[in-house]
Amino acid sequence: MNTQLKVRFKAADIITAIITPFTTEGKIDYAALEKLTNRLLATGTRGFVIGGTTGEGPTLTHDEKMTLYQRFAQMVGGRGVVIAGTGSNNTAQTVAFTREVAAIPGIDAALVVVPYYNKPSQAGMVAHFTAVAQVSELPIMIYNIPGRTGVEMEPATVARLANVAGIVGIKQCSSLEKLEQIVDQTPSDFLVYSGEDVQALSARTIGANGIISVAAHVYGEQMRAMYDELMAGNISRAGQLQRWLTPRMEALFMFPSPTPVKTVLAAQNSTTTNVRLPLVPLKAAEQAQLAEALGLSEDAFTHPLPLNLGGPHNENN
């Protein structure tokens, strides 16, 4: 990773794992994507993961991904870092696709998931990621999400891979304790991100670079304010914002993601609730449960929602 890109990533403390909007016909809605991208950049996002779990990458075809990545990189236009999902549980396929994506101007890094379903050993994980890194022209970020893969990369394995040329960071979705271990055991320039929204504040305080977030779609302004308060030394206010955000962040995962966040965004006229099978949109009763968990009225999603959903009163004023 060159020096300029390192600087850009260090500034990217909030990275949004962006949804893929779909039309009522099930096609990618590029107009909605561009509108949403601009809004997220205006409300505190400093980078994006495109084609990840939240972006419904598993149900996008190869050709859809290539077109999506090309068009999205153009939309962002250097205003934030762009990380493209390229991983699978097939090493040869991951190598080939990562090399293809590397040719797209404006893609800054590849997000490569720990192989799922075939459940490799720690040694197998090392071999997989080393094989990808050895031939990739893109910097590689590890995506460690045991809740979806069925197997977890241990901190010692992350530390080992952090010394492999071309592997520059990790999106870590696990306990705070393991996030601490990864920060402690990897070089200072290794980019450590939590993928657990509720860890956003804690991640920064223990030395991680920041958060790769779903909640930033809806609460970007509040999350930006939280990080700004933290950097200004206003710990109490930052903590107050995180406490307000935590139950709302948890609510965005009370049903299969990204159905909850798409429900909110649809009410804000940013996209439709459409998802691809095997996911299905939330039913009316589920929408009511989500609204209540977000601190909204039960019928909140039956009428337009404002883009800013509020925040806690400053206890320090």
Is residue 12 within 8 A of residue 80, CB to CB? The reply is yes
Tell me if residue 143 is catalytic.
yes
Closest CA to 75 of 30, 42, 45, 9: 30
Is residue 291 within 8 A of residue 38, CB to CB? The reply is no
Which of 10, 30, 117, 171 is labelled catalytic? 171
Which of 6, 65, 69, 143 is labelled catalytic? 143
For the annotated catalytic residues, the residue numbers are 143, 171
